[in-house]
Amino acid sequence: MSIVEKLFSREKGSKRSSIMHPDIMVSRIYFSGSLNHGEAAVSRIAPIGCIAFSPTGGFLLSGSHFLSRWNTETLEKDTISFQRSTQIPITQVAVMTDEGKIIFSLSNGRVFLAHLHHNGGVGITRLGSHIESVSGLIRDTDNPNLGYSCGQDAFIKCFDIRSPHLTNLLECYRFENNPPLRLRLNGILQNPDDPMCITVCGNDPYVRVYDTRFLKEDLNGPVKVFLPHDLANGSTACIKGIAYSKMGQLLASCNNQKIYMFQQEMGLDPKSIRLPLHLNGVPICLSEARVYQGHTDDNQLDRHDITFFGSEDEYIAFGSACGRIFFWNKREPKRVSRIESYLHPVRCMTRHSRPQRPILATGGVDHLVHLWAPNDELLIG
């Protein structure tokens, strides 16, 4: 049984799980183990910059100067290596299939497909590249052969792992400038309510939603835009990370020390963005998002990973620049828990959800992948 399965089934069928109050589950989350990404010469290894679970939780990937694939049944690590002249950090990774097809990118913008064969071999194919570093990689939820990437070069690209190339889908620009300036992108997601829509954030206060069907017709504008109400007056703040819940709620982590949660009906008509947002100082066409605070952002990082957490996405989890992991109840902006996790900023996080025992994985500069889960023994009574 995998470590993930053990964490979720340790008390399966017992009465302990049935009496677990949701707030207690999060307030008593505990450190369940770590996976050492580094080797003996740890000082020569870059901090962990990305982590990802496979769809079923059978393995976990972590990336720094190389990719490590963790078998969650045996906790053994297979280093995925490929020939290159310099040690270039890996910035993003996405698991396409449980059969071992993964996508990863380097800080120089190159994107690769790795096929992990059953005999232990690894096949590496270069799909293409961005001009600058890749800031997001995702798999299409409807088709495991398709995916999207976004980069600091302002491009959104699509790929099909059956053909070795990236296709330019869209170049993103700022709204306010004339002539328009390219927008440095920080993250990309697929809308769970409408898989044809992709959502991106970048170095401005807007979250943009694009319909891929319209992009094929060269109608390159977004179909919806989310803007925090307190950033509408010419703010220079930018969105560093985004996440969707199972219900389609949208999180946006901003570098102004705030996290915003939008409902789908809150989006602005993008045509109004090209008009003045204010009339006599009063914002128009804006809905108030729920705001969560109390953490510390690291403005030196290009992105801030953020995620929903819990069997029903009841909570918001954020790895802070102060080295702590914060949890909020999404229904009310109160902080439920704070975990002392690192001495340095939490650089990346991801979750794998099961009905009763969610698990969170985080990575940082200590070259370890930390696993977090609710503690059954603390939940009795």
- CA dihedral (72, 74, 76, 82) in degrees, to 10, reads -60
pLDDT in tens, 193-217: 889 999 999 999 989 999 988 775 5
How many other β-carbons are positioned within 10 Å of the β-carbon of residue 263? 14
pTM over 0.85: no
Q: What residue ranges of the chain have pLDDT lower than 70?
A: 1-46, 72-75, 78-86, 118-120, 216-220, 267-287, 298-302, 340-343, 354-357, 375-381
The per-residue pLDDT for range 87-126, each reduced to its tens digit, is: 788 999 999 987 788 999 999 999 999 887 766 677 888 9
Q: What is the pLDDT of residue 113?
A: 92
State residue 353's pLDDT score: 73
Instruction: With CA atoms as reference, report the closest residue to 168 among 216, 214, 109.
Output: 216
Domains and CATH numbers, the chain: 3-379 (2.130.10.10)
Residue listed under structure tokens 């290009």: 302
Residue 45 CA: distances (Å) to CA of 86, 87, 125, 237? 13, 9, 24, 32
φ, ψ at 116 (rounded to 5°)? -90, 110
Cβ 250 vs Cβ 265: under 8 Å: no
